[in-house]
Amino acid sequence: MFHNLCMSQVIVFATPVFFLLITLEFAWGLKKGRNTYRLQDMVSSIGLGMMSQFTAVFTRLLRIGVYTVIYAGVSLVPLEAAREFWGTWHGWILALIFYDFCYYWNHRIGHTSAIFWAAHAVHHQSQDYNLSTALRQTSSSALLGWLFYIPMALAGVPPEIFGIVALVDLLYQFWVHTEHVPKLGWFDRWFCSPSNHRVHHAVNDAYVDRNYGGILIVWDRLFGSFKEEGEPCVYGTRSALKSWDPIWANAAVYAALLRDAWQTKSWGDKLRVFFKPPGWRPADVAAMFPSAPFDLEQAKAKYEAKISRAAQVFGVLTFNLLLLAVAVFLWFADQLPMPVQLTSVLILMGMLWSTNAVLQARLKPWAGSIAWVVMLVFAALYFF
């Protein structure tokens, strides 16, 4: 509980810093004549980040609960001795390196096994690359991601230390999502840097499935997954999302896997489709429903949805209101009973979907406004 409360509060405190840096990057891009932001994409990315945080109240058991149970029950190191060691300054540093090593393999499997990619793909769907992309996070990674950190629990790393180094690793990765920082020489050889991470987000043939490191890039050099930035990067996923819908962004890859599993006649393939590399399809399904081959030139064409100025104003206003609502919810989430948490999350999700539906021209601004009013009235009646 301590870890979750601190995590929520740190995210709330960090949010103004994130937005200040995003504003500075946007201003710098305008000054240099190289703007990397689009309103709809930015709202989509940050909205998905918000959604990942307010839905996380339901994945605590997997995020830290299972870790705590393993740590307390089957740690290979006596807990008193383990806590004494990991609590030293060098223990903290080693714990951070340990976490980063586990993160590397979690991240790598996230690109090489379809069921893990289904969760991680959300982070890669943006065709833009900027600091708002860093906030674009999945809401389903906790379902399986906890498996990769079991070694830390077995080594006796206390849950609170695990939680803090996990947060440090995550926050570090914010600044590497930018096109405005060039190569950094010796730093690029040891650490995940903007140049190294641009490669990771690119769909170019030479760059696919490279540079998984969170803080350290040495893991990629050691395990053969490093690639230096060369040709210009094209961002996104090879199966483009073409949507600003936050719910569909999280569900799209899962839906494709389930569809292929349903349609194939082979019982073995019904299982294999979830564990084979992303893009693999059963032969019978691929023959019946062939996919177009990947074309890099087509990938350069960014998804757009033409909207009115009224829709843009609606998107900006409701987005800022939603930021405030999510911050308040995260601050008090741990103190709320489960029914209130569930209702709050459903209301926030509805607000987020409505905002993005207007920005995608699925709803007119007046329809989006009605949706917001209905949800606000319902929230007022429910809570007060």
Tens digit of each residue's pLDDT (9 = 90 or more) over 230-250:
999 999 999 999 999 999 999
Structure tokens belonging to residue 98:
């340990």
What are the φ and ψ backbone dihedral angles of 191, each rounded to 5 degrees?
A: -120, 155
DSSP summary character for residue 149: G
Q: Average pLDDT for residues 43-68, to the nearest whole number?
A: 89
What are the φ and ψ backbone dihedral angles of 215, each rounded to 5 degrees?
A: -105, -45
3-state SS, one letter per residue, for 202-224: ECCCCCCCCCCCCCECHHHHHCC
pTM check: above 0.85: yes
Q: How far is CA 214 from the centre of its chain?
A: 13
Q: Specify the 3-state DSSP secondary structure of 12.
A: helix
Residue 16's contacts (CB-CB under 8 Å, 6 or more residues apart) are none
Query: What is the reported pLDDT for 268?
Result: 97
pLDDT at 78 over 50: yes
Q: How confident is residue 6, by pLDDT bands cut at 50, 70 and 90?
A: low
Residue 194's closest CA among 366, 360, 36?
36
Query: What is the reported pLDDT for 1?
Result: 40
pLDDT at 50 over 90: yes
Residue written as token pair 């932001």: 37
Residue 300's closest CA among 354, 355, 383, 232?
232
Q: Specify the 3-state DSSP secondary structure of 358.
A: helix
Q: How confident is residue 109, by pLDDT bands cut at 50, 70 and 90?
A: very high
CB 329 within 8 A of CB 7: no
Listed by start position, the domains of the chain span: 2-222, 309-383
pLDDT at 366 over 60: yes
For residue 38, give the amino acid letter: R
Name the percent of the chain lying above pLDDT 70: 98
Distance CA 254, CA 256 (A): 5
Mean pLDDT over the full length of the chain: 94
Q: Which has the minimum average pLDDT: 2-16, 89-103, 305-319?
A: 2-16
pLDDT at 327 over 50: yes
Query: What is the reported pLDDT for 13?
Result: 86
Tens digit of each residue's pLDDT (9 = 90 or more) over 127-178:
999 999 999 999 998 889 999 999 999 999 999 999 999 999 999 999 999 9
Distance CA 372, CA 380 (A): 12
DSSP one-letter string for 130-146: SHHHHT---SSTHHHHG
